[in-house]
Amino acid sequence: MLSRDDIKNALTSWNLAWDNHNLDGVMELFHDDVLFENWTGGRARGKENLRKAWENWFQNHGGFRFIEEETFIDVEEQKALYRWQLDWPSFEEGFEGKAEKRRGVDVLHFRDGKIIKKLTYSKTTIEIDGERVQLSASST
């Protein structure tokens, strides 16, 4: 069982790996049997399938940065709620390349010291160049 400090330190290292666009470092915290679901409904089961799903994103979508806004840790349940802001060049139609801020939450479940489940939720309104933009149905 991970302690509060273990979870906090693991998430700090994990966030640093995201900031450095280090896919290997990001993958270190995932359990082999991880289940990932993202805000678009995309799903990957298993560490290798998740790596394959993310390889293209890491290679072709540079410039992203996740900023931790708030983290809640439940040691007894081995769960964490990680609220973040994603800063990156937008890929939204009509706004390509403009500065985008997207906010969301990861619900993280740990088993054997690794993330076994990562459920990602995102707001449907984002900020592009300081303006609030409603995501289109094809983006969500």
Tens digits of per-residue pLDDT, 50-79? Answer: 999 999 888 877 789 999 999 999 999 999
How do residues 14-31 score in pLDDT, each as one tens digit?
999 999 999 999 999 999
Give the β-pairing of 79-89 and 99-111: antiparallel
Q: Check: CB of residue 101 under 8 Å from CB of residue 127.
A: yes
Per-residue tokens: 6: 């273990």
Per-residue tokens: 41: 């409904």
pLDDT confidence band for 85 (50 / 70 / 90)? very high
Among the listed residues 112, 104, 81, 111, the one whose alpha carbon sits nearest the alpha carbon of residue 8: 81
Domains along the chain with CATH numbers = 4-134 (3.10.450.50)
Q: Can you give the pTM of this predicted structure?
A: 0.89
